[in-house]
Structure 1
Amino acid sequence: MKIQFIGAAQTVTGSMHYVEACGKKFLIDCGLYQGKRKLAFELNRTFEYFNPEEIDFVILSHAHIDHSGNLPTLVKKGFNGKIFATFATRDLASIMLLDSAHIQEKDVEYVNKKRKKRGQNLFEPLYTQTDARQTLELFVGINYHREFEIAPGIKLTFFDAGHILGSASLFLTINENGTLKHLGFSGDLGRPNLPILRDPEKIPDVDYYICESTYGNKTHDNPKDTEIKLAEVINLAWERKSKIIVPAFSVGRTQELVYAIHRIFENKMAPEIRIYVDSPLSVNATEIFRLHPECFDFEISQFLVNHKDPFGFDKLTYIKDVEDSKKLNTAPGPCMIISSSGMCESGRILHHLANNIENPDNIILMVGYTAENTLGRKITEKQSPVKIFGDEYQLNAEVRVMDSLSAHADARELFDYVSRFDKSRLRKIFLVHGESEQQIPFKSKLLNAGFKSVEIPERGYSAEL
């Protein structure tokens, strides 16, 4: 068995791992790389380590675009195998991949108008909605905890990763010539005690484990403090008559925010200001959340006893139409606009930032991870000026950062999860989906705890297992 680390290797985005076993070639995840625009442009368009036509199947851990978003490019370049995912992931991917294609088409159209005026070469979208629809035809849904033989000698079981709706950790049993090997992949691990979703489940003991390390050296705020801190921001906006601009992932983060605000207003922790969710994808994703209560934890199940809809209340407006989105430019404060993408790399959030970032009365609330070199990271670090659609803007708005809403396990939670594996059996841990300042200390901590071998593979690194 051979595994090659292609994406999310010493970086956080573009999750993609290539495996050869039992005469089959397959991918674990096929995500979009997000970061420096020129590098992302090149990496997302080429598959330099394998031929897409030769890939037999793909296993998808969850629907976030940095894990699923390059599947249409794979299909566009010749892949025609099955894509295995949980049912909720399949449902989310059905809207997310189409939305990704739509955003790329619209963003390229918008940028090309400027480039044409300047006499510059025009861009082509990475893929189109037609490519995305073709990709969706290849999905095969599998329930949690059900062992499924995806190829002769290769069996797959999904366990709940507690990260977003439908997210899964992978447990693979591989029988090569009578020799059994067990390979585990964390996917993106969630946090215990978060609202809405169940806690992450431990997979059975494995011989090799691929582990995310997004926050391998960082401890998050207590998730129980989320509503208090969020209420503080809303109260401040009420006093200033501010607009709160919230870049948020359409799947997971947006629903958590809406649920938290619902509870804040119900418990009278802050004045009831207008809340706008301005993202067609967020609106559609919320509908899919409503269709999968089997993924909910006990807390929200109890909330549902007294409320028909945890994702809807009087002051909340979901916006799909682009004209309604434009009207928010002149909407008075106080109000909150939640829009995607969370890393501020595409979508309507760019227009809201451009219209509000230079007003010192406004607040930009960052509520999730932002990868290196993204606009979201620059705002989080309070860099100024920043470029939006190629134009410079001064960052005059107040920036607030909340990591208690993070859907990724922190250093302590990651270590607690990995520590439950049998050290005498686990031969090697590969740390992926992290930057060096998070991965190196986490590696040291695992080695000091008695794990035999921990590696931080670079892009293109290949290991024989």
Structure 2
Amino acid sequence: MKIQFLGAAKEVTGSCILIETRRSKFLLDCGQRQGQGAESSPEFQFNPREIDFVILSHAHIDHSGLLPKLVAEGFDGEIYSTVATRDVAELLLEDSAKIQKEAESGAGLIPMFTEEDVALTMDKFSVYEWDVPIDASDDVTVTFLDAGHILGASISVIDISGAGRLVYTGDIGHGHSPIMNPPAKLNNTDFLIIESTYGAKRHPAVNPKESLKQIILDTYANKGKVLIPVFAVGRAQEVLYILKQLYEESELPNIPVYFDTPLGAETTSLYQYHQNYLRAQFRSSFLKGENPFHFGTLDFIRGNNRSLDVASSEEPCVVIAASGMLTGGRILNHLKTTLEDPDSSLVFVGYQAEGTPGREILDGKKRVEIAGKEYEVKLKVHYIPGLSAHADADGLFSFVNSADILPKKIFVVHGEPENAEALQRRIINNLRIDTFVPEMGYTENFMDREVVKVVEKDVHLDFKPEFTKVGELEVYPFVGALLKKQDGIHLISKEQYIGILTETEEELETMLTKMTSKEGLEAETETETAEPVEEISETEFKETLLKYADVGIFSRSRARELKNMLENEGRDATIAHINKLARKDRLYPLDTTKQEELRRVLVAGINSFPQKARELFNEIVER
């Protein structure tokens, strides 16, 4: 295996890692660089025609934004992701293509790709659910796990024949989001590539809901505006949810809230379609036909003229708009009229990349340029770190330390130097793992190194050795034992061996199961996990669906369609499809009440009993 770091090396944006094995060549993400030094049309450091496939961790543009350019330059393989990541990426990439087209007509910039390139790119997606192994090539198997970052975001577990296991975190969440589940526990792995956006920082122990409430109340008392720049997917939805809670709890006055991001409105709809990726309480809300993001004073702004009207108004209000780093979007309409108002507030709720206007303002710059004109920064500037979608320094370290068997080598990426190097030092000092922060273009070659094999099974090290220097060598002398188990040969320490001898047979079996089983590992973790919710009984599901089939509400053709989709694309894609049909009144347009009940039954039944659902659909087809 050979790993080359082509993006997000000692910086936060532009994630792109090239992996070569004996039989395959593939990418981990293919994202755009943003902020200072970003090229308008970067050149690939490889031949796109030689790439066999791409593993996409999530849809954010700094991870997905060069995929259409890759396709336009000859890539013809598959792009592996979750269903939700594909759907979010389609919206973000289409929006990026439109922005480039506008820039071409306005500033004469040549676009990196077109909307036609985006359409061709979407045809190359191959989508899978979490925890489902994907045979990406003859020597590579990929499994996605929940990263807890944004809708559909995944940790990629990559098993490579002859080289071992590589885990790529993409971006991982902090575990306290009211919407997203906590990130999955680290699988035992040989190599780890981990993000470090906040590798040197701890999120303050403050309640973001209380912080946002106080800022709004103080600004409203001064008759000012509250501007909240957001990323269209992730932060926008969390801010909406918090505001809904505050209004429903009567913690805020009846102040207007303008959601001025058309792209954000579209991505918010995707949360309804892909409820399977959310915390259990959100699934329950959507199943009941409720919308956890909507509330009385919320107003979605569609046209730009309306946006300009709100921006020029002196009405006290809250404005949520993209882009999150102030690099474009409708937030600029509002900044032009509000930056020099000392009674107003600007609230950052996400990371600000170096070189962006958002970073300049957050760092205290008093004069900034917006759309070619210079403004004095007089409004109050706030930052609420608790709304970040990234794990902080403690969360990142805990993720690494959660593995029973620690990685042999760790690569720290997706962080500015001070953050990446701080995480590197902490891992080395506390866990004694070989940890490296790669430069842009750095290559690590494992082609001549393989995981040790004994009788064609991996040897597992079940303790953490502490090496000492002997000349130029690092040595750890020990007395131990080899333990043969179903998953391979385990090398255990003397203390572990003595412990085994003193255990009863029953206790030994319990210990071995706990050491290796997925259930045992999950039981030990202190990270909060989402419990599966059975939202409907199997009897109710079957009886209701058969009743609807008998009266023509659920047709044989629909049953055949859903059966085929379950078999070919899986549970998550099928549930998203049902939700889209219902939202467009195409599931059963003759009666919206019955349509909503049919949607609820289908979504709950497929979520709880996917195999039984396939069998029931087949039964209806053959009746």
Please classify the TM superposition score into its range, dividing by the shorter chain length: over 0.9
Identity %: 39
Identify the range of structure 1 (341-350 vs 58-67) with the bigger mean alpha-carbon deviation. 341-350
Contact kept? 1:426, 1:451, Cα under 8 Å: no
Structure 1 runs of 4+ aligned residues shifted over 6 Å read none
Q: Specify the SS of the correspondent of 1:426.
A: coil
Alignment of 1:82-121 (within 5 A): 82-110=78-106, 112=107
Tell me the equivalent position of 1:326.
Answer: 308
Tell me the equivalent position of 2:115.
Answer: 129
Tell me the equivalent position of 2:202.
Answer: 219
Question: What letter is aligned with 2:34?
Answer: Q
204 and 212 in structure 1: CA distance in 2 versus 1, 3 angstrom threshold: same
Tell me the equivalent position of 1:171.
Answer: 157
Post-superposition CA distance 1:124-168 (Å, at most 9, x none): 223222222221111111110000101111100000000000000
Structure 1: unaligned runs, 5 residues or longer? 113-121
Question: Following TM superposition, by how much is the alpha carbon of 1:108 offset from its aligned partner in structure 2, in angstroms?
Answer: 4.4
Alignment of 1:193-342 (within 5 A): 193-222=176-205, 225-301=207-283, 308-342=290-324
Contact kept? 1:170, 1:203, Cα under 8 Å: no
For 1:125 and 1:349, locate their aligned partners in 2 and report how far apart those are by CA, in whole Å: 23
Tell me the equivalent position of 1:60.
Answer: 56
For 1:454 and 1:267, locate their aligned partners in 2 and report how far apart those are by CA, in whole Å: 47
Identify the range of structure 1 (358-367 vs 293-302) with the bigger mean alpha-carbon deviation. 293-302
For 1:188 and 1:144, locate their aligned partners in 2 and report how far apart those are by CA, in whole Å: 16
For 2:415 and 2:247, locate their aligned partners in 1 and report how far apart those are by CA, in whole Å: 36
| Greater relative CO (CA pairs within 8 A, separation 6+) | 1
Contact kept? 1:88, 1:165, Cα under 8 Å: yes
Structure 2: unaligned runs, 5 residues or longer? 447-623
For 1:8 and 1:131, locate their aligned partners in 2 and report how far apart those are by CA, in whole Å: 24
Tell me the equivalent position of 2:352.
Answer: 370
Tell me the equivalent position of 2:432.
Answer: 451
For 1:20 and 1:306, locate their aligned partners in 2 and report how far apart those are by CA, in whole Å: 48
Question: Following TM superposition, by how much is the alpha carbon of 1:380 offset from its aligned partner in structure 2, in angstroms?
Answer: 1.0
Identify the range of structure 1 (131-140 vs 349-358) with the bigger mean alpha-carbon deviation. 349-358
372 and 449 in structure 1: CA distance in 2 versus 1, 3 angstrom threshold: same
Tell me the equivalent position of 2:42.
Answer: 45
Identify the range of structure 1 (347-356 vs 240-249) with the bigger mean alpha-carbon deviation. 347-356
Question: What letter is aligned with 2:184?
Answer: E
For 1:332 and 1:107, locate their aligned partners in 2 and report how far apart those are by CA, in whole Å: 31
For 1:242 and 1:146, locate their aligned partners in 2 and report how far apart those are by CA, in whole Å: 51
For 1:305 and 1:231, locate their aligned partners in 2 and report how far apart those are by CA, in whole Å: 29
Identify the range of structure 1 (4-13 vs 64-73) with the bigger mean alpha-carbon deviation. 64-73
Question: Following TM superposition, by how much is the alpha carbon of 1:391 offset from its aligned partner in structure 2, in angstroms?
Answer: 2.2
Post-superposition CA distance 1:267-324 (Å, at most 9, x none): 1112131111111110100000111111111343466688811111111111222222
Match of 1:386 among 352, 368, 371: 368
Q: Specify the SS of the correspondent of 1:404.
A: helix
Q: Specify the SS of the correspondent of 2:71.
A: helix
Contact kept? 2:272, 2:286, Cα under 8 Å: no
Contact kept? 1:169, 1:184, Cα under 8 Å: yes
Tell me the equivalent position of 1:148.
Answer: 134
Question: Following TM superposition, by how much is the alpha carbon of 1:180 offset from its aligned partner in structure 2, in angstroms?
Answer: 4.7
For 2:289 and 2:338, locate their aligned partners in 1 and report how far apart those are by CA, in whole Å: 34
For 2:340 and 2:101, locate their aligned partners in 1 and report how far apart those are by CA, in whole Å: 28
Identify the range of structure 1 (307-316 vs 208-217) with the bigger mean alpha-carbon deviation. 307-316
Question: Following TM superposition, by how much is the alpha carbon of 1:35 offset from its aligned partner in structure 2, in angstroms?
Answer: 1.4
Question: Following TM superposition, by how much is the alpha carbon of 1:364 offset from its aligned partner in structure 2, in angstroms?
Answer: 0.8
For 1:185 and 1:295, locate their aligned partners in 2 and report how far apart those are by CA, in whole Å: 20
Question: What letter is aligned with 1:145?
Answer: D
Question: What letter is aligned with 1:174?
Answer: I
Question: What letter is aligned with 1:185?
Answer: Y
TM-score, normalising length: structure 1 = 0.92
Question: Following TM superposition, by how much is the alpha carbon of 1:250 offset from its aligned partner in structure 2, in angstroms?
Answer: 0.4
Question: What letter is aligned with 1:168?
Answer: S
Root-mean-square deviation (Å) = 1.7
Tell me the equivalent position of 1:69.
Answer: 65
Tell me the equivalent position of 2:166.
Answer: 183
Tell me the equivalent position of 2:20.
Answer: 20
Match of 2:76 among 75, 80, 92: 80
Number of positions where the alignment pairs a residue of Structure 1 with one of Structure 2? 446
Tell me the equivalent position of 2:421.
Answer: 440
TM-score, normalising length: structure 2 = 0.69
- Relative to its length, the structure with more helix (as a share) is 2
Question: What letter is aligned with 1:379?
Answer: I
For 1:197 and 1:98, locate their aligned partners in 2 and report how far apart those are by CA, in whole Å: 25
